Amino acid sequence: MLRVDAPQTLAEFLPGAAAITVLTGAGISTDSGIPDFRGPRGVWTKDPSAEAMSTIDAYVAVQEVRRRAWRSRRDSPVWDAEPNAAHAALVELERAGRLRALITQNIDGLHQRAGSSDGKVIEIHGTMREVVCLSCDLRTPMPEILARVDAGEDDPPCAECGGVQKSATISFGQALDQDVLDAAITAARSCDLFLAAGTSLTVQPAAGLCLEAADHGARLVIINAEETPYDELADAVLRRPVGETLPRLVRIALGTGG
Ligand SMILES: [Zn+2]
């Protein structure tokens, strides 16, 4: 039942959706100046070696990989990025009591910066805003560790145990946090509308959340510039920029204009 750009369909069921679970991907943050790693102009597309260097095995084994990673974290566009209109729209949806959960594949923390509650945001790929020790699990705010990098430590060890530290994100070859994943699956199964925005839906298990939602009776709406493998399953597909389309859908849902 593929309906590309189906305003009538959206007007039929968006206003009645009471428990909306949203899944966001890189496409929601590109308007904030954060490049999409997998998109046509993405970092990995331009430099394939960057992807090979981002496996957990390489990170643990090779200090030069860790030095590069710390330089790249320090220079990340995330620190100067501001949330955009799409992030803000999801804050409105939460404040109206209509947001079941906000699952994100992003590690930039922009949903919380925009005002989304920690209790609503499920970061399935972790967050860049914290550092974790791979030996003792100590967590430290990223700015504290980046201050050490700026002061000359090119691979800052854990202050407690001396272990290797990394951003609290899921690297290639690293398992997702089971509790976080369980929370995401529960949120997908217990919504009446599942809205995927700015994600190509090609990375599992995030993409499979669409199936979980549909199998449990939710409507499925997809906003993404390119096709996704779940378009055929969706009630509506909007191949438009997330930055203007997501706020428009939230306005329709909340009855504040379309
Ligand atoms: Zn430690």
H or E segment and range at residue 104? strand 99-104
Residue 7: predicted pLDDT: 65
Tokens linked to 222:
């997809």
Q: Is 103 in a helix, a strand, or coil?
A: strand
**Binding site residue list for Zn(2+):** 133, 136, 158, 161
Domains of the chain: 1-34+82-125+176-258 (3.40.50.1220), 42-75+130-169 (3.30.1600)
State how far the Cα of 132 lies from the Cα of 115, in Å rounded to an integer. 24
Residue 205: predicted pLDDT: 85
State how far the Cα of 247 lies from the Cα of 88, in Å rounded to an integer. 8
- Work out the burial of residue 253: count CB atoms within 10 Å of its CB; fewer than 13 is exposed, 13-18 middle, 19 or more buried: buried
State how far the Cα of 132 lies from the Cα of 179, in Å rounded to an integer. 17
Tokens linked to 32:
């904030």
- Cβ of 118: how many Cβ atoms within 10 Å? 9
Residue 49: predicted pLDDT: 67
Of 230, 228, 204, the closest CA to residue 218 belongs to: 230
Lookup result for tokens 């100067």 = 80
| Strand bridging mode 121-123 / 99-104 | parallel
Averaged pLDDT, groups of 10, the chain, 258 residues long:
64 93 96 74 58 82 93 94 98 98 97 97 96 97 98 98 96 91 98 97 89 96 94 94 95 86
Residue 250: predicted pLDDT: 96
Helix and strand totals (H; E) in the chain: 11, 9
Residue 99 near residue 93 (C-beta atoms within 8 A): yes
Bond prior to 205 in cis (omega within 30° of 0)? yes
**CA of residue 178 to ligand 1 center, whole Å:** 21
The residues placing their C-beta within 5 Å of ligand 1, an ion, are 133, 135-136, 138, 158, 160-161, 163
**CA of residue 144 to ligand 1 center, whole Å:** 15
Residue 3: predicted pLDDT: 56
State how far the Cα of 103 lies from the Cα of 123, in Å rounded to an integer. 6
Known catalytic membership, residue 216: no
For the entire predicted model, the pTM comes to 0.91
Residue 206: predicted pLDDT: 84
Residue 1: predicted pLDDT: 47
User: From the candidates 87, 111, 125, 216, which is the catalytic residue?
Assistant: 125
Residue 9: predicted pLDDT: 79
